[in-house]
Amino acid sequence: MLKPKIAPSMLSCDFSQLGEEAIRMIDSGADYLHMDVMDGHFVNNLTFGAPVVNCLNNYLQKNTKKEYVLDCHLMVSNPEKWVEDFAKSGATIFTFHIEATENPSELIEKIKSNGMKVSIAIKPKTDVSIIFPFLDKLDMVLIMTVEPGFGGQSFMKDMMKKVEILREKLPNLDIQVDGGLSPKTIDFASKAGANVIVAGTSIFKSDDPAKTIQILKDSVQNNLIDKDKDKDKK
């Protein structure tokens, strides 16, 4: 059964306090920690790689007894190069962009064989049908609701059609949305069928991150209940 999952984007945190910020999010009710990996090539920004994820994982293992998921979104060229490194770093989910690889099937198998869950991301201008051949092999799909590369962009409501199409095809698939999500925009995403919500600025800049996370989670949960009711009617 689908559940709401909230994934604060660590790109919006205070990097000088990365470990403490991660624990603050976990203690506030976060389900995932979303790690935005950018290479300065596939996107015009440079963030961090597997060594930082590894350091964070080691810190969390020593400093929290709560469960956590390292949700790694690779906005990089040639994602095949980094599978082993991220597996060793402790990554739970490896998300690659369909636009960044020539052999998605091979990459999917490589990720799975290295013990990670696998997800495909698509940019706003990419047609959702391009990932249809791979859906039965995926743990999650990420629909970008902004152009990848920088935080703080405005939510692209027209991307919700992609979410609706995917939810209709696969009622039990984890569908993640990333970009411009906040208490003001969450209902558009949750009504379309998204259940995994990435939010950076709206959570980290909130006076009460736990309250913000709960607002996002409640919106998803309420819409999941509504969709279940609609199924029962049919």
Which residues, including other chains, have CB under 8 Å from residue 30's CB and lie 6 or more apart? 6, 7, 8, 68, 213
Name the binding residues.
9, 34, 36, 73, 149-152, 178, 180, 200-201
Q: CB count, 10 Å around CB of 55? A: 15
Name the binding residues for substrate.
9, 73, 149-152, 180, 200-201
Which residues, including other chains, have CB under 8 Å from residue 15's CB and lie 6 or more apart? none
User: Measured between alpha carbons, how far apart are the two ends of the chain, in Å?
Assistant: 18
DSSP labels for 51-90?
Answer: HHHHHHHHHHHHH--S---EEEEEE-S-GGGGHHHHHHHT
Counting Cα atoms < 13 Å in the Cβ hemisphere of 222 gives 12
- φ, ψ of residue 149 in degrees (nearest 5): 135, -30
Task: Tell me the one-letter amino acid at 95.
Answer: T
Catalytic residue (one of 39, 71, 139, 178): 178
DSSP code of residue 29: T
Catalytic residue (one of 36, 39, 71, 174): 36
**Annotation says 36 is catalytic:** yes
**Annotation says 127 is catalytic:** no
By three-state DSSP, how is residue 32 classified? coil
Name the binding residues for a divalent metal cation.
34, 36, 73, 178
Report how far residue 37's alpha carbon sits from residue 74's, in angstroms, rounded to the nearest whole number. 5
List residues with catalytic annotation. 36, 178
